């Protein structure tokens, strides 16, 4: 089954399951991205901060996949230099990727203490107007900063990329997104290996019932909830396994059992409110 494409509010679409490359060294980024494209992924999520845009770009250019079939995301890092000239930062990313335009450009972190999250969002609006990015969004904006950025510009992000997995389901933000037509994208969808999520019986029981892996069950849960997700692996068999989650359909009871795993202390990564 091919990966479904979700409509974005700006009239474009995004493949719902993509390949994330956080913590993938540039030296191996071309090789693993190449494997992911050969396996059938058409959506790749990188960032300036990951220092692997060059390697990812090499794989994209060498792939036997037409550019229009690829969906490439990168992100504006929140150091002063990038914020002072977000256009130049985006152009530098495009240079490293070897592309004229990315499909999605995100502000990587709101970093409320720096007080530049509205300015950064304004810069992305200009980046889209200049054609450097087809769609724009944010990542890691706490609700107050997200509301402020939308109120100040009158423009809602097409996508909000946030930490989201069964132990940390972000219901408040998801409800806000639904009201504003924002697509939710889950980072750390498998819990980043930071918890016992993939050993939790609520997941492993469902996996056994479907002859699937726990990771596939978790990814199928994201897809069933209409979330875009971008699992990362550099292991060839897992790259293939994770994509095959698009073929797995969970029952309403199974989804409800996983919904019950949400925890108030389930966050594994940094808190965007204080970072």
Residue 267 touching ligand NAD (CB under 6 A): no
Segment lying near ligand NAD (by CB under 6 A), choices 6-14, 149-157, 184-192, 204-212: 184-192
> 57: how many CB neighbours lie within 10 A of its CB?
24
Whose Cβ is closer to ligand NAD: residue 241's or residue 254's? 241
HSE value, Cβ hemisphere, 13 Å, CA-based, for 22: 12
Residue 103 touching ligand NAD (CB under 6 A): no
Whose Cβ is closer to ligand NAD: residue 129's or residue 263's? 263
Which of 57, 166, 189, 266 touches ligand NAD by CB under 6 A? Answer: 189
Number of residues in the chain: 275
Q: How far is CA 16 from CA 150, 205, 221, 228, 230, in A?
A: 24, 25, 12, 4, 8
| Three-state SS at 146 | helix
Which of 168, 187, 206, 223 touches ligand NAD by CB under 6 A? Answer: 187
Tokens of 153: 């510009």
Segment lying near ligand NAD (by CB under 6 A), choices 52-60, 94-102, 232-240, 247-255: 232-240
Question: Contact, 50 vs 22, CB < 8 A?
Answer: yes
Segment lying near ligand NAD (by CB under 6 A), choices 4-12, 20-28, 141-149, 248-256: 20-28
Strands 71-76 and 43-45: parallel
Give the relative orientation of helices 236-243 and 214-224 as an angle to the nearest 10 degrees: 40
Residue 140 touching ligand NAD (CB under 6 A): yes
Residue 21 touching ligand NAD (CB under 6 A): yes
Can you tell me the distance from the alpha carbon of 23 to that of 224, in angstroms, rounded to the nearest whole number? 27
Tokens of 120: 């950064």
Whose Cβ is closer to ligand NAD: residue 127's or residue 138's? 138
Catalytic residue among 19, 41, 50, 167: 50
Positions in the binding site for ligand NAD (CB under 6 A): 20-22, 45, 108, 139-140, 161, 187-193, 198, 213, 215, 230-233, 238, 241-242
């Amino acid at each position: 089954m091919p990966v479904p494409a979700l409509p974005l509010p700006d009239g474009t679409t995004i493949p719902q399951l993509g390949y994330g490359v956080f913590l993938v060294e540039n030296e191996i980024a071309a090789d693993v991205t190449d494997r992911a494209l050969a396996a059938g992924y058409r959506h790749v999520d990188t960032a300036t901060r990951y220092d692997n845009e060059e390697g990812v770009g090499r794989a994209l250019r060498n792939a036997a996949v037409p550019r229009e079939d690829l969906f490439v995301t990168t992100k504006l890092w929140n150091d002063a230099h990038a914020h002072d000239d977000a256009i130049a930062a985006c152009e530098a990313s495009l240079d490293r990727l070897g592309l004229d335009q990315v499909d999605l450009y995100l502000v990587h972190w709101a970093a409320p203490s720096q007080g530049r999250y509205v300015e950064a969002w304004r810069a992305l609006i200009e980046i889209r107007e200049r054609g450097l990015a087809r769609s724009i969004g944010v990542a890691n904006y706490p609700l107050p900063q997200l509301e402020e950025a939308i109120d100040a510009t009158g423009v809602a992000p097409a996508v909000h990329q946030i930490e989201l997995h069964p132990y940390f389901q972000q219901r408040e933000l998801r409800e806000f997104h639904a009201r504003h037509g924002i697509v939710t994208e889950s980072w750390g969808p498998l819990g980043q290996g930071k918890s016992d999520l993939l050993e939790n019986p609520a997941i492993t029981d469902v996996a056994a019932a479907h002859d699937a892996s726990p990771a596939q069950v978790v990814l199928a849960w994201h897809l069933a909830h209409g979330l875009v997700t971008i699992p990362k692996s550099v292991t060839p068999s897992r790259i293939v396994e994770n994509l095959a989650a698009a073929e797995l359909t969970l029952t309403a009871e199974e989804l409800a059992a996983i919904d019950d795993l949400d925890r108030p202390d389930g966050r594994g990564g940094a808190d965007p409110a204080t970072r």
